[in-house]
Structure 1
């Protein structure tokens, strides 16, 4: 009887131990970030990149910096703060616009006057309603607004169009391609010739295999682009965007990394290592001519989707080393 009681106690304790292991998440092993990444995007150019010219050597550096307030003063303060910490101006300032929000705000003009190139991430609407002509006036208004600033602009028309949660408004790759051509034709009619057209899906879309189906064609695209994050899946950036780089190497366009970031969930040391590996990866792929960090902690997001580097000493130091490298100051 005592033996059975002792056995029951052992089994009970073992069950408690197993239960506690389920409640405490185990850390994900860090990938090896020490090796030199393979150069997959092997095209060296020169590239016909539209009005925003790709540098012959090296790559331009920019960012999206989430302001405390979405106002003229707030936007300027956010960019100025990061530039002060970095000790240099950003070559590219990423800015997001809803379909009805026009380019050419006071802050846009200020960034342009400081020598930055605007990258406008424009959230166009339902592709089929665009093709039905429901938004022609709005599209023409935006084309005129961009033409009026008289400076070259990178335009990401409905970036990340391949995301599954956008399928209700994107409909299909064919619908997106048709809408892209429709919008671009209106810009041509309005003589908005200062636009470099940037096609920018997600790295996940190339891993799934559906992103290429949204490509409008080499005659329609000036820059290929990808958004890539070490968020919930902590892998080296070269591995995360490897399928995209293989695709891009088949198209004679310069590459811009439209958004990239490494989440706070992985800790300072791992974030710093990931950024150092990102620097090696960018330099090993000569087709990559520009990149923009996503310097933001979106409200309501978990730590796996918080990417701000400011305040993280080790991670920021790694990013600072990247932006001070002569390769990223062409």
Structure 2
């Protein structure tokens, strides 16, 4: 996966959880309250939302380039960041967007979280989240199966962490937070598979996928269509019965036509991945030039994507 953090700011640290896998790591005590989620109120019944990470240009300029304001705005926050009161989340309300908050626990010992040593901070975030004007999508400790490897690729520890954060925050924040669990589209070699980290149906409102077409700039990658990138993980997630969010995606330019790649997105969603209810473009020049404006053809294709009625779902 690409490094998602902006070069100029340290927006890092998060929360998430995994699934039940054998482990000697801490697990929730048997009497810990499990707060079932009642499903998503944000997910559209038909079609999908378009989302953006505004890493290249100010939102107003990017929106002008794509021809409209996308329904979802992705932002990255650190573990201690007061994200419910942040300027980004407040700005999303003003702009009529749903906040997708990627909460990243960099530098955090997940066992300390499970042991309750961060509960005071978590309760404060929950109280602030409960006062939000509209629900947010909270993507906790994403890509646990790949580069990030939260908790050292220990599924049992990750699951205990995700569940603990959920069980502290959810009873207070209520329907102001919808919980996202988003693995990378591929697992790290030798690491447990993504579903080993699944926290369980009672803890997750949306499942997600982060995935990119890396192109042929180096020998480690090949040109992949959108369906090639997302299809295998989608087939793993769809049986869970949750709405799916493509929480990060883009394409490189080298090795094929980026414009044609973008043009494949909506047909692939409609025909092969109907459970996808949101798709978020990672608009920044990092390991590859993931930007909407990496070429005139790419920008025109993304503009056409944004105009497609399939991605015009209205936010409740």
SS in 1 for 2:131: helix
Structure 2 vs 1, CA of residues 99 and 281 (structure 1 numbering), >3 Å: closer, same or farther?
Answer: same
Give the distance between the partners of 2:87 and 2:133, measured in 1 at CA.
Answer: 14
Give the distance between the partners of 1:128 and 1:328, measured in 2 at CA.
Answer: 40
After TM superposition, give the deviation of residue 165 of structure 1 in Å: 4.8
After TM superposition, give the deviation of residue 257 of structure 1 in Å: 0.2
Give the distance between the partners of 1:80 and 1:295, measured in 2 at CA.
Answer: 14
Work out whether residues 145 and 188 of structure 2, in 8 Å CA contact, stay in contact via their aligned partners in 1. no
Structure 2: tracts of 5 or more residues without a match: 1-37, 215-220
Structure 1: tracts of 5 or more residues without a match: 1-47, 68-76
SS in 1 for 2:240: coil
SS in 2 for 1:190: helix
Give the distance between the partners of 2:148 and 2:142, measured in 1 at CA.
Answer: 13
Could you tell me which of 175, 197, 200 is aligned with 2:182?
200
Give the distance between the partners of 1:92 and 1:153, measured in 2 at CA.
Answer: 10
Deviation sequence 1:137-185 (CA, Å, 0-9, x none): 2222222222222311000001111124525x34411111111110111
After TM superposition, give the deviation of residue 234 of structure 1 in Å: 1.7
Structure 2 vs 1, CA of residues 233 and 134 (structure 1 numbering), >3 Å: closer, same or farther?
Answer: farther
- What does 1:123-138 correspond to in 2, within 5 Å? 123-124=104-105, 125-138=108-121
Partner of 2:262: 275
Work out whether residues 255 and 287 of structure 1, in 8 Å CA contact, stay in contact via their aligned partners in 2. yes
Partner of 1:295: 283
TM-score (norm 2): 0.78
Give the distance between the partners of 1:212 and 1:312, measured in 2 at CA.
Answer: 37
Deviation sequence 1:100-151 (CA, Å, 0-9, x none): 1111222321221221000000002332121122211222222222222231
After TM superposition, give the deviation of residue 322 of structure 1 in Å: 1.0
Structure 2 vs 1, CA of residues 161 and 146 (structure 1 numbering), >3 Å: closer, same or farther?
Answer: same
Structure with larger Rg = 1
Could you tell me which of 228, 251, 259 is aligned with 2:240?
251
Structure 2 vs 1, CA of residues 50 and 279 (structure 1 numbering), >3 Å: closer, same or farther?
Answer: closer
Matched, 1:260 2:277: no
TM-score (norm 1): 0.75
Structure 2 vs 1, CA of residues 171 and 326 (structure 1 numbering), >3 Å: closer, same or farther?
Answer: closer
Give the distance between the partners of 2:202 and 2:88, measured in 1 at CA.
Answer: 32
Partner of 1:83: 63
Could you tell me which of 104, 108, 115 is aligned with 2:89?
108
Moved over 6 A (4+): 206-209
SS in 2 for 1:121: strand
- What does 1:291-330 correspond to in 2, within 5 Å? 291-298=279-286, 301=287, 305-330=288-313
SS in 2 for 1:264: coil
Give the distance between the partners of 2:254 and 2:120, measured in 1 at CA.
Answer: 44
Could you tell me which of 16, 19, 40 is aligned with 1:50?
40
SS in 1 for 2:201: coil
Matched, 1:119 2:100: yes
Give the distance between the partners of 1:311 and 1:237, measured in 2 at CA.
Answer: 17
Could you tell me which of 74, 77, 96 is aligned with 1:94?
74
SS in 2 for 1:260: strand
